[in-house]
Amino acid sequence: MAEIEGIFNQKTRNIIDLSIAHHQDRKCSGWVNNPSSE
């Protein structure tokens, strides 16, 4: 059971990392300066 839990936690962490990276990409592309372009 602990093995499955570890895999799940790793996948969740990867998803969170991707979300953060996506957010940073949008900040770098000037999204913060022009939020109405959403």
**How does pLDDT run across 3-33, given as a tens digit for each residue?**
878 888 899 988 888 888 777 766 655 555 5
Predicted TM-score (pTM) of the model is: 0.43
Between the CA atoms of 22, 26, 27 and 32, what dihedral angle is there, to the nearest 10 degrees?
A: -130
Strands (E), the chain: none
Which pLDDT score, from 0 to 100, does residue 32 have?
57
Higher pLDDT, 37 or 20: 20
Which pLDDT score, from 0 to 100, does residue 38 have?
46
